[in-house]
Amino acid sequence: MRTFILFSERGRTKGDFRDLMKAGRLDILCHDVIAAFFLSNAMRSDVSLHLVLNGPPDPPKHIEFVSNEEMPISKKDIGNLLRSVLWKYKPRRRIEAFPGISIEKKRFEDVLAENQGFYLLESAGRHISQVELGSNPVFVLGDHMGLPRNERKAARKLAEERISIGPMPYFSSQCIVVVNNHLDNLYDERSIL
Nearer to ligand SAM by Cβ, of 24 and 142: the residue is: 142
Considering only 146, 154, 158, 160, the residue that binds ligand SAM (CB under 6 A) is 146
Considering only 171, 182, 184, 193, the residue that binds ligand SAM (CB under 6 A) is 171
Q: How far is CA 12 from the centre of its chain?
A: 15
Q: Kindly give the residue spans of alpha helices, DSSP state H, lying in 38-145.
A: 78-87, 108-113
Nearer to ligand SAM by Cβ, of 3 and 164: the residue is: 164
Q: How far is CA 189 from the centre of its chain?
A: 22
Considering only 35, 133, 138, 175, the residue that binds ligand SAM (CB under 6 A) is 175
3-class secondary-structure state, position 66: strand
Q: How many residues bind ligand SAM (CB under 6 A)?
A: 17
Which residue type is seen at 89? Y
Nearer to ligand SAM by Cβ, of 20 and 141: the residue is: 141
Binding to ligand SAM by residue 36, rule CB under 6 A? no
Binding to ligand SAM by residue 168, rule CB under 6 A? yes
Binding to ligand SAM by residue 121, rule CB under 6 A? yes
User: Under a CB-based contact definition with an 8 Å cutoff, are residues 78 and 34 in contact?
Assistant: yes
The residues, any chain, with a CB within 8 Å of residue 40's CB and separated by 6 or more, are: none
Selection from 145, 136, 134, 129 nearest residue 178 by Cα: 129
Q: Is the peptide bond before 59 cis (omega within 30 degrees of 0)?
A: no
Considering only 81, 147, 159, 183, the residue that binds ligand SAM (CB under 6 A) is 147
Binding to ligand SAM by residue 169, rule CB under 6 A? yes
Site residues (CB under 6 A) for ligand SAM?
121-123, 141-142, 144, 146-147, 164-166, 168-172, 175
